[in-house]
Chains A and B, each alone.
Chain A
Amino acid sequence: MLKISTAPHLNAPLSTRSIMFNVILALLPTLIAGIMFFGFNALLVVVTSVAGCVAFEYLFCRFVTQTETSTWDLSAVVTGLLLAFNLPATIPLWMVLVGCFMAIILSKMVYGGIGKNMFNPALVGRVFLFISFPVEMTTWIKPQFLNFMSPDAQTAATPLKILKHLSADGSADELPSYFQMFVGNIGGCIGEVSALAILIGFVYLLYKRIISWHITFYYLSSFFILISLHWLITKSPGADPLAHLLSGGLMLGAVFMATDYTTSPMSPNGKIIFAIGCGVLTYIIRIYGVYPEGVSFAILIMNAFVPLIDKLYIPRLFGTARR
């Protein structure tokens, strides 16, 4: 029997699942770095988070919408990884599951599942935990390179915390070197410490044409320009631009969170506006806010502007004047 169908009869090799699979591959260097610095605990948090996200999505499809499960598109795995990467390695595992519930059920599935959510699910999960359990979410252990069981974990301040103190009264621990911050030998969340590992993933995603460079570039550069100006004008040691660029969730956010397809604008110009918005908000929150970290809030706030940006910035119609 001959099959018939409408044109086109060919498909590009990338499917939703292979895109998600490639994102997971791109997240692997960061996962490895997280385990190397924070040991077995980090792995446990990641496994819990991924399993939790996948399970919640499966159960929701099975019992609530009673539709064919969307679990196999691997997007829940990506959400699980990203949520875990935004958590400290010491967080109690039941809290991780609460985060999974928030991420998958309350910020993805109730909107209608993949592609329909307004806010980045992993960030919603993280911010919910951050506001509900401020102590557990801001207890950082000193990274112990390749000491997997971390028996005598010491607490340590993150570079951002140190920077915040430096701006406040100038009394704080010494900042780690830029090199330590670049490779990730600093306190922080599992997946945010190593700029190096994140950039490896970024290069891979660019090479595979999963994302374009625009959002990441404009986010990082708009933030860097603002913080540099601030630093030059106020001479405040708490606004050290390189330290800000390499610490906290900025790299992870700019590479993996702000570039999320569903919650970022679609047109190239819209992406640039969105990214600059993220950069400006991150700067404002980090310098003027009460929290040392502003990436999660900045991206979530800009997520809310995406429908508006999509309406305002549309591609140029062929045969009409350049705008």
Chain B
Amino acid sequence: MIKKKTFSIGGIHLDKHKITAAMPIVDAGLPELVYIPVKQHIGAPAKILVKKGDKVKVGTLLADADGIVSADIHSSVSGEIVKIDEIIDADAYPETMIVIKVEGDEHEPNIDLSPTIISEIPYTPEEIINKVRSSGIVGMGGAGYPTPVKITISEGKKVDTLLINGIECEAYLTADGRLMVEKAEQIIIGARIINKALGIQNAIIAIDENKPEAIEIMSRLTKKYVGVNVCVCQSKYPQGAEKQLIAAITGREVPPGKLPVDVGCIVHNVGTAFAIYEAVQKNKPLYERIVTVTGDDAAEHLGNYRVRIGTPASFLIAKTTQHPEHIGKIIFGGGMMGVSAVNMDAPLTKLTSGILLLNDQDAVKPPEIACIRCAKCLDACPMGLRPFAIASAIKSNDFAELKRLHTQSCIECGSCAFICPARIPLLDYCKLGKIEVKKQQ
């Protein structure tokens, strides 16, 4: 047997929570209202181009990217704009959102909705980058970094490998896994488009071993395309984190404070690669994505849904349960890194890979007790940090020590807090530490 690749420092094994792994992607349908935030990416909010009362179609540009690190926002439905206002989003921050009342389902005429797969790429790198930019694509693994920047190589950098991240090591989530099974060829073409934009020949699609169906389909289809290969990784968390993925596949480690491009790699999520395919080959802006709706208790109609951006979470939750009052916690994202939502009506964004429902019992975090120095956090940290030491430096206000402990290297995967038998919220301490170190600089 071939030894499957993985990173060498730390990591944890999550129990199998992939309840929805075998469920095909289905269309979620249209809600009555969608709430489209003008900031669904890191960087500045997009500049709003529309006003209350305007009629829009699916794919109409609503807001224009404000600078390089920003992204266009498109309408995900057809209908009338009824409100533009600050509304509380999932993380409890007020965000400017464009509220659209859904009427019919009319698309912008230039969007190609046919199922034909187009594999020819007749565009120049500049044309590709412009198409990606005008489609509002951002990193869909959750980072939200505007994609045009990541398919352009900046002056003086050399890239030799494109990694397409199909790891999805997060607990519960299966959206990327399903996408690889159902849209494999489109993802491969998406990878080739990125390669063309970057001017390189080598793309590797990384999949972890718990997705045999995706591995089989991808391995078969990549044979048709020169320069695209599949690499199977161990199922380990956080294998899908950018730095850990690069380390597993190329053996290169991104030095502290550096970017993947500094070791000659660019990483894009499979969802992003698919969105790039649709943008470039089908003129389709990013107005929908695949969202896993999951949870241990909510038994009915869990699954992987194709959801229009801006759909309220409650619209999906209503499909799974008649008793939303029994839900203890709603998490946007997966169990390890997801954000627990303050209200059920918060809209799904370009970055929402899943809606995880926990019951009342699982929703409660156990209280923090004393550290017993078991060193499990140290063994689990994929960055070689000592989370217990970061926590005690925070508790004693020793901010100089935080810097010596390389707190800035933390990737916020949460492995330390997951494994801690004393249930110390180590990730919270690490995040606080990062803020403190930043303040000092």
Contacts and interface: CB of A to CB of B under 8 A. Distances in A.
A266 B389 CA distance: 11
A38 to B, nearest CB: 31
Nearest to A316: B384
B409 A318 contact: yes
Interface string A51-76: 00000000000000000001001010
B171 interface: yes
Contacts of A154: none
Contacts, number: 150
B421 interface: yes
B312 interface: no
Secondary structure at the B interface, as helix, strand, loop or mixed, is loop
Contacts of B328: 2-3
B335 A5 contact: no
Interface in A240-263: 261-262
B249 interface: no
B177 interface: no
Interface in A212-236: none
Interface string A19-43: 1000000000000000000000000
Secondary structure at the A interface, as helix, strand, loop or mixed, is loop
B62 interface: no
B334 to A, nearest CB: 9
A317 B388 contact: no
A2 B330 contact: yes
A272 to B, nearest CB: 13
B383 A8 contact: no
Given A3-B340, A8-B414, A267 B427 contact: no
Given A8-B414, A10-B171, A319-B255, A3 B338 contact: no
Interface in A153-209: none
A110 interface: no
A11 B374 contact: no
Contact of B421 (A7, A10, A19): A19
A113 B372 CA distance: 10
A10 B418 contact: yes
A7 B329 contact: no
B339 interface: yes
Contacts of B14: 10
A73 B423 CA distance: 13
Contact of A3 (B329, B372, B425, B428): B329
Nearest to B262: A319
Interface in A293-323: 314-320
A9 B382 contact: no
B370 A114 contact: yes
Nearest to A112: B370
A262 B373 contact: yes
Contact of B384 (A10, A115, A317): A317
B: contact size bracket? 35 or more
A141 to B, nearest CB: 36
A64 B258 CA distance: 51
B71 interface: no
20 contacts: A5-B329, A5-B363, A6-B428, A7-B339, A8-B335, A8-B417, A9-B329, A10-B14, A10-B418, A11-B366, A12-B420, A15-B423, A16-B421, A16-B422, A114-B370, A266-B373, A315-B381, A318-B382, A319-B243, A319-B255
Interface string B144-186: 0000000000000000000000000001000000000000000
Given A115-B373, A319-B253, A7 B12 contact: no
Contact of B12 (A9, A12, A114, A262): A12
A9 B336 contact: yes
Interface in A70-103: 70, 73, 75
Nearest to B339: A7
Contacts of B412: 7
B419 interface: yes
7 pairs of A and B residues whose beta carbons are closest in the complex: A8-B414, A266-B375, A319-B255, A3-B363, A318-B383, A10-B335, A319-B253
B386 A315 contact: yes
Contacts of A315: 9, 378, 381, 384-386
Interface string B41-75: 00000000000000000000000000000000000
A18 interface: yes
Contact of B414 (A7, A70, A75, A314): A7
B279 interface: no
A15 B365 CA distance: 13
A290 interface: no
A9 B335 contact: yes
Interface string B319-361: 0000000011111000111111111100000000000101010
